[in-house]
Amino acid sequence: MNEGEADTMRAIGLMSGTSLDGIDAALIESDGDRAARLVAFRDEPYSDQARAQLAAATQLALGFQRPRASPPIVAAAELITRTHVMAVQKLLRDAGLSAGEIDVIGFHGQTVAHRPDRGWTWQIGDGQTLADATGVTTVADFRSADVAAGGQGAPLLPVYHAARAAELDGPVAILNLGGVANITLVADGEPLAAFDTGPANGLIDSWIEQETGERFDRDGATAAAGRVDDSVLGAMLDHPFFDAPYPKSLDRNDFTVQPARGLALADGAATLTAFTAASVAVALRLLPRAPRRLLVGGGGRHNPTLMRMIAEQTGLLPEPVDALGWNGDSLEAEGFAYMAIRTLRGLPISFPGTTGAPRPLPGGTTFRPRGR
């Protein structure tokens, strides 16, 4: 344990999301209970070659009935581990700290398939290799224990959302707009409620990349120039996922851009952006209480067209969490650092109202550096 408060630990959290844009690495100080203090953050973008390799591994994994080793996925796992080691080393350099001053790393890995309906979820990346390479105790495989107990294995960030929002006047909803969107309701004295709401940036990014070769709709400009096709939007919302009660979760590929095929570039972008916004509105109606505020983290908060559509659909002003002094880009990585501390201390990270777990459950597998 490091200097300062007796209970405080230094932890690094590593997150590589389903958007496949790169690694978020955050260094925090926390006791695993009260809200954390962010010490340093960096994002490490993937090369085009790395993105293509990870996308191919994901497509392959989706066809499996259960996780199994195959050469492309083994190679992708090695890539994930190697790039995450480099991200840790660069973050430590930025922070002016040595590995010996870090208590634990929370290593999420890369989700290649999420199939709780089949009893498994699959994140690639080798926790033992990362621990050995960095010399820091590493917690990985955060989701499997929850799924094995009958939970969804997602979302896991609600426990951190609750810590960050503890001082706010509730109830508040925290919306994460990554590849997939998830929402957490934090209300004083009430159990956490959370679930995936639907695609966030995932479909928009796929549409733009397939149609233009660009990675995303910068500033939502393409969607802003288009017209929402109400018939396509209605058909996409007519999906059993949206009527299902929570807890519930999604794989990045449970929805596709196929319904928008035949639309013009801008109209497709507008329709898919409206779909994300409408799915958030549906989710808010499922929550046990209406939130007073809607706080937004993740890359989608940088898309003004999406934020405007969410406001129109929900009647709430979506507020970027940065306005509270939080870092909306690092929130997920911070969360896995926080959960790594909780794992070392035997504290739960998933709950009946967040994943459908039968009881509050700890999670994560701990890897100690060998030969040190």
Q: What is the pLDDT of residues 126-159, one digit of tens each?
A: 999 999 999 999 999 999 999 999 999 999 999 9
Closest by alpha carbon to 155, among 19, 9, 354, 339?
Answer: 354
SS3 182: strand
- Over the chain, what is the mean pLDDT? 95
Contact call for residues 101 and 93 (beta carbons, < 8 A): no
Per cent of the chain over pLDDT 90 is: 92
Residue 267 has pLDDT above 60, yes or no: yes
Bridge partners (DSSP) of residue 72 are none
> Structure tokens of 314?
């929900």
Q: 0.85 cut: is pTM over it?
A: yes
CA gap 273, 205 in Å, rounded: 10
Phi, psi (5° rounding) for residue 235?
-65, -40
Is residue 304 classed as helix, strand or coil in its secondary structure? Answer: helix
Cβ atoms of 369 and 137 closer than 8 Å: yes
Higher pLDDT, 324 or 62: 324
Give yes or no for residue 238 having a pLDDT over 60.
yes
Q: What is the pLDDT of residues 9-43, one digit of tens each?
A: 999 999 998 888 899 999 999 999 987 899 999 99
Asked whether residue 80 carries a pLDDT value surpassing 60, the answer given is yes
Q: Are 105 and 139 in contact (CB under 8 A)?
A: yes
pLDDT digit string, tens, across residues 340-352: 999 999 999 999 9
Residues with Cβ within 8 Å of residue 97, at least 6 apart in sequence: 10, 27
Amino acid 14: pLDDT: 98
Asked whether the predicted pLDDT for residue 118 surpasses 60, the reply is yes
Query: Taking phi first (over 0 means left), then psi (-120 to 50 degrees means alpha), and beta for anything else, what does residue 20 get?
Result: left
Dist. CA 121–CA 111, nearest whole Å = 8
Q: How far apart are CA 25 and CA 105, in angstroms?
A: 10
